[in-house]
Structure 1
Amino acid sequence: MTRSRAALDTDSLLKIVLLLVVVWLVLEIVEAILGTLATIFEVFQPVIGIVLVVLIVLWLLDRI
């Protein structure tokens, strides 16, 4: 009686590994993009704060 320990072919395992590598690369690209956006927002954080304060003051004074 022969038993087959491996239920998957080599091709199937390679496809799974390839899929995992693609997912890993996509996550690295998304992380790079989000890191760049975070850096951009960090530079403009004081400007965004000032704009929000001005908008709130104008809203409170009924100028908007």
Structure 2
Amino acid sequence: MNDSRGALDVETLLKIILVLVAVLLVIEILSALISGIIGLLQPLVMLAILVLIVLWLLDRL
């Protein structure tokens, strides 16, 4: 039986962990940016929906 356990070097494992942490940071930053953009656009979208409802009720749509 060929046991390949422990075949990775410590440096390789550290590089893998570093890449995973970098990916996690990028995901967190993108999440914050997207939620910020949506937070800014939310009142505008709600206002547009309100205007459409009022126009529909007044038969102007």
- TM bucket by the smaller chain? 0.5 to 0.7
> Could you tell me how far 1:45 is from its partner in structure 2?
1.3
Question: Alpha carbon RMSD of aligned pairs, Å?
Answer: 2.2
Structure 1 consecutive aligned stretches of length 4 or more whose deviation exceeds 3 Å: 46-50
Unaligned ranges ≥5, structure 1: 58-64
- The percentage of aligned residue pairs carrying the same residue is 36
Unaligned ranges ≥5, structure 2: 53-60
> Could you tell me how far 1:48 is from its partner in structure 2?
4.5
- Scaled by the length of structure 2, the TM-score of the pair is 0.68
Q: Which has the higher contact order (CA 8 A, sep 6+)?
A: 2
